[in-house]
Chain A
Amino acid sequence: MANLKEIKRKIKSVQNTQKTTRAMKLVSTAKLKRAEMAAKQSRVYAVKINEVLSEIAYKINQYKSEVIESRFFDKNETPSTVDIVFVTADKGLCGGFNIQTIKAVRKLLEEYAQKNIKVRLRGVGRKGIAFFNFQGVPLFATYAGVSSAPNYEKAQEIIKGAIDDFVQGTTDKVILVHNGYKNMISQELKITDIVPVEPPLDYSLDSTSLMELEPLDGGEEILNSLMQKYFEYNMYYALIDSLAAEHSARMQAMENATNNASDRVNMLTLAYNKARQESITTELIEIISGVESMK
């Protein structure tokens, strides 16, 4: 009989877990919609900034008839120090979402270690920070609590340090690793070189357009501040993209968990019924054999 009680308790417990996972799934679905919307809206900005940036780069090229000499565009084949900015979630329970990013970062770390390149890690999101702290990998900078509520100011703050170091020559390359949103059911790991970047030279532009630049210093000031915005925006986008991906991953993970819980309940119910039948049979046998022996 104790066995029966035990199974009943287990069923109850699994059902409670199922309630939680189902609720989490619903919450993630709602949050995913919002995050997706935010990402979509901000795409407009990406398109525009790319447009303006390529026009300016093109314009400056025309002015000077030489390739823009900016550290931002200097493809450094042999970097000596690399900054890796990685974005993970602040919370768990989202399947392999965080682990995928962490794995990618570790792979990069190994690769650079082989080439004798110094790597500094800038971690965003509690999960990733906790992992590397546990592994004893030193993190150069950490930003917790940003992933779950990204905004532009925080993104600015994160990328500013990395870009400043790059401009000063402390680092030669900045890489951004995050797990991005692909669609409702899948995520896509994205590893992007923040700097140096390929100059976005789109020659499909009307080359005869007589565009004036102001202030009149050959557009460098505009280019520099635009580049700054470009980096900040990339960082911001990575954050919101990552948030959308996190929610989609969690949604899926919780869906699976709910289904698994259902399966488990079915299995346990079967076991319960079997145990019940068994105990009834045993009781019957006892009674019958008792009656038999009385004869």
Chain B
Amino acid sequence: MDTLKLEIVTPIGQIFANDVKSVTLPGSEGEFGVLPHHASLVTLLQAGVIDIELKDGNHDVVAINWGHVKVDENSVTVLADGAISIGGSSESEIAKSLEDAKELIKSMSDSDIAIAIATSKIDSIVKTRKY
């Protein structure tokens, strides 16, 4: 099975680095999904969530407040200002990261619609996730 190498880096450190099946990114011109063998592309990202489909079919969610992405044939590099990975081993940890992520998006985005879209997206992905 083909996979993509996804890297998410912020000035504070690397948030995510792994091989994934696909990734959906909040581009400045609209959301777009990337599968392996995507055409090379560089674009800006807006505040929102990155939906990552892992190799085992599970989804990981990373909230970002701003960023750039560079897509190559088999690698995706995201440069973000602030990124929060939603997850954790316990319910409370997940809830905490959820709050942080929503906070992060709220702080950056000025339109209510964008915030609403991002938060509902986070909620729906987290709900469907298998643990």
Q: Is A131 an interface residue (CB 8 A)?
A: no
Task: Name the interface residues of B1-38: CB closer than 8 Å to any CB of A.
Answer: 7, 9-14, 27-29
Q: Are A45 and B41 in contact (CB under 8 A)?
A: no
- Report the minimal beta-carbon distance from B16 to chain A, rounded to whole angstroms: 12
- Report the minimal beta-carbon distance from A283 to chain B, rounded to whole angstroms: 70
Output the nearest chain B residue to A236 by Cβ-Cβ distance: B11
Q: Mark B68-92, 1 if CB is under 8 A from A, else 0.
A: 1010100001010110000000000
- Report the minimal beta-carbon distance from A234 to chain B, rounded to whole angstroms: 10
Give chain A residues whose Cβ lies under 8 Å from the Cβ of B12: 38, 41-42, 152
Q: Are B79 and A45 in contact (CB under 8 A)?
A: yes
Q: Are A222 and B11 in contact (CB under 8 A)?
A: no
Give chain A residues whose Cβ lies under 8 Å from the Cβ of B116: none
Q: Is A168 an interface residue (CB 8 A)?
A: no
Q: Are B11 and A42 in contact (CB under 8 A)?
A: yes
Q: Are B40 and A45 in contact (CB under 8 A)?
A: no
How many chain B residues have a CB neighbour from A under 8 Å?
A: 23
Task: Name the interface residues of A181-233: CB closer than 8 Å to any CB of B.
Answer: 209-215, 219, 221-222, 225-226, 229, 232-233
Give chain A residues whose Cβ lies under 8 Å from the Cβ of B72: 209
- Report the minimal beta-carbon distance from B71 to chain A, rounded to whole angstroms: 9
Q: Are B81 and A210 in contact (CB under 8 A)?
A: no
Q: How far is the CA of A41 from the CA of B17 in the complex (A)?
A: 13
- Report the minimal beta-carbon distance from B41 to chain A, rounded to whole angstroms: 5
Q: Are A233 and B11 in contact (CB under 8 A)?
A: yes
- Report the minimal beta-carbon distance from A164 to chain B, rounded to whole angstroms: 18
Q: Are B77 and A215 in contact (CB under 8 A)?
A: no
Q: Is B117 an interface residue (CB 8 A)?
A: no
Give B residues with C-beta under 8 Å from A.
7, 9-14, 27-29, 39-44, 68, 70, 72, 77, 79, 81-82
The 3 closest A-B pairs by CB, nearest first: A41-B13, A214-B43, A211-B40
Give A residues with C-beta under 8 Å from B.
38, 41-42, 44-45, 48-49, 51-52, 55-56, 59, 152, 209-215, 219, 221-222, 225-226, 229, 232-233, 236-237
